[in-house]
Amino acid sequence: MPGNRACPVRREAIRKRTRASRAPRRMAHPAGNHLREHGHAAATDDAMTAAFTQLRAGQVTTKAACALIGRPRASHYRRRAGPILGPKQARRVPDNGQALTAVEQTAVLTLINTKQYADLAIGQIWTRELDEGRYLCSMSSMYRIARAAGQTRERRRQATHRTSVKPELMADGPSQTWSWDITKLRGPSKGIFYHLYVLIDIFSRYNPGWLVSTCEESNLAADFIAGAIRGNGTAPHSVHADRGTSMTSKPVSMLLTDLGVTRTHSRPHVSNDNPFSEAQYRTLKYLPDFPEHFRSLEHAKQFCTEFFYQYNYIHRHSGIGWHTPASVHFGTADAIDDARRTTLTTAYHANPARFGRRPHPPTRPDKAWINQPQPAPAK
């Protein structure tokens, strides 16, 4: 019957599908696309290598040449060294007979495990010995000896806490930019806390003032900052803080405005906009003898008095060339560097074969930043 016959258009579509299913399919070579991509990458790499060679021939440094062609320096040195098969090769011991003997290595390990140095980082130990006029080995050798003994990780007893318009501040000298924050100290019983107010100079890491109180209050914060400025003798250009209620309060704002000090704050929900204050609180609260709680307000003040004295005048800070914050803040760091240089020079002349190159004291950065701006990418 006519009603049972398929529509001509439908019949034509069925025939086309049938012919397509019966036709042999052309299979693409499985490696074709890979070969094309590989050839393009190889050509690009060859062009970069040629450009690098021309730049080096023009007396451009390796660092600058890699930056200009967009190739990481690590990739350059890896290519130059060639393929490395098998496990990492052991460090080559100097064959000049001047390597540390077993007795000297034992002496170094004994030193870093003494009661005086047991809780200090290797850099702290090496620098303090250097400042005392004693030199046993280089800092890298001391690290290597400690690493062999499994002592290069965190040497202090530590708790494990979960770590929580963009300000761009720069200081190239002391008393230019201060950072401050308030942290809580656990009191004698549940629900009782003491509040620790701390200022820190981001260039020298010096603490111009601190205060322990039973409360967090805006007028007290303003008086605290004013007292620190009087004690320092000069007001900073900028004071940075997070967005706590005391930091954004009217008394603090009016004080800084009257003194002509710029006030900046961290961005909301950003944990690293106040790094100097947060780092100092970490140093405080991860001390081996930091108590579970303070028995009284006087107990908290006594502990903080000892801590901030140690931090300002004894602790060597890696971020400022292993100097104490006080030496950088009050301008005695240059004389200390001269004394360190003399000690290193004496050690070098006494046994020059032990050194691959003439040793120099650690360098200090000439600027300190909060949120240093990144250079614009090259077009």
- Domains of the chain are 169-326 (3.30.420.10)
The helix (H) or strand (E) run that includes residue 145 is helix 139-148
Residue 311's pLDDT is what? Answer: 96
Q: Which two tokens stand for residue 172?
A: 């190239």
* pLDDT tens column, 20-32: 555 554 444 444 4
Looking at residue 167, its amino acid is P
Spans in the chain with pLDDT lower than 70: 1-41, 83-97, 157-158, 160-164, 378-379
How confident is the model at residue 156, as a pLDDT?
72
pLDDT at 274: 87
Give residue 14's pLDDT.
Answer: 63
Q: Read off φ and ψ for residue 114, nearest 5 degrees.
A: -70, 160
> Across the beta sheet with 238-241, what order do the strands follow?
209-213, 193-201, 177-186, 238-241, 262-265
Answer whether 236's CB lies under 8 Å from 370's CB: no
Give 281-317 pLDDT, tens digit per residue: 999 999 999 999 999 999 999 999 999 999 999 999 9
Q: Is 337 left (phi over 0), alpha (psi -120 to 50) or beta?
A: alpha
pLDDT at 272: 80
Return the SS3 of 264: strand
Listing DSSP states for 73-118 in one string gives HHHHHHHHH----SSPPPPPPPSSS-SPPHHHHHHHHHHHTSTTTT
